[in-house]
Amino acid sequence: MATDIRRPTVARGSAPAPEPLADEASWGRVTTPRTLLSRALSVPLALGFTVFLPLFVAVQDGDGQRDAAYWLQLLLTMYAGARLSAMVLTSRRKLLQGSFWLFVYMAMGVAPLAQAVLGRVPTPVVGPRSDLTLAIGLVLIGCLAFDVGVLLARHRPAVRAGGSRKEKRPVMAHRRRLQVLTVLSFLCSAAFIVKLGGPAVFFSSRQEIIAGIEEAGLSSDGQASQALLRGFGTVPALLSLLLYTRWLITSKYARRKVSVIVTWSALAALNLVVNNPISNPRYWFLTVMFALLFTVFPVSAAMYRVALSMAVVIALLVFPFADRFRYDEKNYRPVETTSFLEPMALKDYDQIGMFANTITYSQSGPGHSYGRQLAGSVLFAVPRSIWPGKPRDTGVMVGLWMGTVNTNLSSPIWAELWLDFGPLGMGAGLLGLGYAAARVDRRYAKRATRRSPPGSLISVVVPLVAGYSFILLRGPLLQASGRVAIAALCLALVATYRGDKSTTLR
């Protein structure tokens, strides 16, 4: 016999019962085919990330030492795998936490474990083995601190009896200012294209881009000038595209406006030039794809799970070989290997090793910088002519001390915080990062719904930050600061608290 389920009636004059928030615990209580499918996949997925893949890497043949550093690395990989599994299987979309654990699992977990097994690293570890062991232990402590911050974020301030928590007015995109940002995007990107010699350069190689910057005379002006040129040439165009994409996805009015469709098409073509994977670093293109994916699918839990799961496969099989366009035909040297571990051991994933080198560098004499490196990142735009003692990128500074030819080295957030503030400061920084990520994820899950307005800025900003977090976590912070500052300026331009129809998107 069918059951008639009706909405409860509300007496005239009384307030309707509030609808449950998108982030409440009531999510997932209704059993649906998708829920059953998720439960069926949960065990093999969790075991695969947490046990099978780490152990499969660990039992491979290699020349690595089976010492304390090896076992700590295996423990870190399994812990990160368990946390990534929890992010994939959760009923709520946690973009910032998911991207954090995805980075830790691949760049600080599986890849360094492969390096430990094979005894081969992309960047030499110049210090004693004890510094590497310390670095792995500090990364694990930082991950635990991040989780403590997430737990602290669950405790909300108590509401007095009879009272209610006042909801803040959402920040929206101002329609006229968005048009101004779009015009600026075309002007800045056009200047970037002309400065480097035309659109054809952007479809050759990153080496050609660097050569174009040198011919334009910007390489002698320092990294700040290059960062500003690249940032203004790429960030406004991407933000404009994300905002117009959000508008088209959520608004029937926008899909009927020819001007909106034409503007979106022009922005897509512009981004195809300045933000394509050929002329940009892989981590930046990963940011572009991550931001676009979750802007197009803002409420799809299935897409969120597929994205995190497939990202592991891409990081294992595609990412190590994705530097095909870094060099031109003469200078490109493909890696010839019969093992899937070697590309991870020999390319890019140098975060654990560089943390160990940072510890050795600090202990060799300079010590901790007590915020100086962070100040250099915040004040990145100050030229060295005004600030002669301005600190270098942490990765560059440690690389020069090591005597390496290539100083384009990573400096993960663990190393940046440790070098500036020591182990306690590193733990506090990761705890604060976990707290902030959990709070933002909760607000995003609440606001990014099908009923949210087209101009909701949080629905665009959080996917963008989630994608860019891979660059921030990898470091160095000084390299990443330019685009962060430019994005903040662009968002400040279009942001408004006004909700009337004359200003916001509809």
pLDDT at 505 over 60: yes
pLDDT on residue 224? 58
Q: For residue 467, give the nearest of 247, 280, 251, 209 by alpha carbon.
A: 280
The more confident residue out of 41 and 159 is: 41
Q: For residue 443, give the nearest of 147, 92, 98, 173 by alpha carbon.
A: 92
Provide the CB-side half-sphere exposure for 447 (13 A, CA): 23
How many other CB atoms sit within 10 Å of the CB of residue 397? Answer: 23
pLDDT on residue 26? 37
What's the pLDDT band for 446 if we cut at 50, 70, 90? Answer: confident
Does 128 sit behind a cis peptide bond, omega within 30 degrees of 0 on the bond before it?
Answer: no
Give yes or no for a contact between 292 and 240, defined as CB atoms under 8 angstroms apart. Answer: no
The rounded distance, in Å, linking the Cα atoms of 48 and 36 is 19
The rounded distance, in Å, linking the Cα atoms of 271 and 279 is 11
The more confident residue out of 352 and 376 is: 352
End-to-end CA distance of the chain: 44
pLDDT on residue 381? 77
The dihedral through the CA atoms of 243, 246, 251, 256 has a sign that is positive
pLDDT on residue 437? 94
pLDDT on residue 165? 55
Q: For residue 404, give the nearest of 112, 118, 127, 126 by alpha carbon.
A: 126
pLDDT on residue 4? 43
Give yes or no for a contact between 456 and 168, defined as CB atoms under 8 angstroms apart. Answer: no
Query: Which strand (E) or helix (H) includes residue 496?
Result: strand 495-496
The rounded distance, in Å, linking the Cα atoms of 420 and 375 is 10
The rounded distance, in Å, linking the Cα atoms of 56 and 54 is 5
pLDDT at 181 over 90: yes
pLDDT on residue 73? 94
The rounded distance, in Å, linking the Cα atoms of 201 and 211 is 10
pLDDT at 10 over 60: no
Question: Which positions ≥6 away from 348 have C-beta within 8 Å?
Answer: 122, 319, 320, 323
pLDDT on residue 59? 87
pLDDT on residue 333? 52
- Token readout for 50 is 């947490």
- Phi and psi (nearest 5°) for 357? -65, -35
- Phi and psi (nearest 5°) for 433? -65, -40
pLDDT on residue 74? 95
Give yes or no for a contact between 465 and 179, defined as CB atoms under 8 angstroms apart. Answer: no
pLDDT at 276 over 50: yes
DSSP 236-278: HHHHHHHHHHHHHHH-HHHHH-HHHHHHHHHHHHHHHHHT-TT
Mean pLDDT along residues 458-470 = 90
pLDDT at 157 over 70: no
pLDDT on residue 416? 94
pLDDT on residue 387? 84
CA angle 470, 340, 305 (to 5 degrees): 45
Q: What is the DSSP letter of 299?
A: S
Give yes or no for a contact between 484 and 468, defined as CB atoms under 8 angstroms apart. Answer: yes
Amino acid at 138: L
Q: What is the DSSP letter of 110?
A: I
How many other CB atoms sit within 10 Å of the CB of residue 6? Answer: 5
Please provide the average confidence, as pLDDT, over all residues in the chain: 80
How many other CB atoms sit within 10 Å of the CB of residue 128? Answer: 13
The more confident residue out of 5 and 127 is: 127
Amino acid at 178: L
Question: Which positions ≥6 away from 376 have C-beta within 8 Å?
Answer: 390, 391, 392, 478
Alpha carbon 71 to its chain centroid, in Å, reads 28
Region at 422 (left for phi over 0; alpha for psi -120 to 50; beta for the rest): left
The pLDDT tens digits for 107-134 are 899 989 999 998 888 888 898 999 999 9
The rounded distance, in Å, linking the Cα atoms of 366 and 338 is 42
The rounded distance, in Å, linking the Cα atoms of 157 and 433 is 20
Q: For residue 295, give the nearest of 249, 228, 235, 341 by alpha carbon.
A: 249
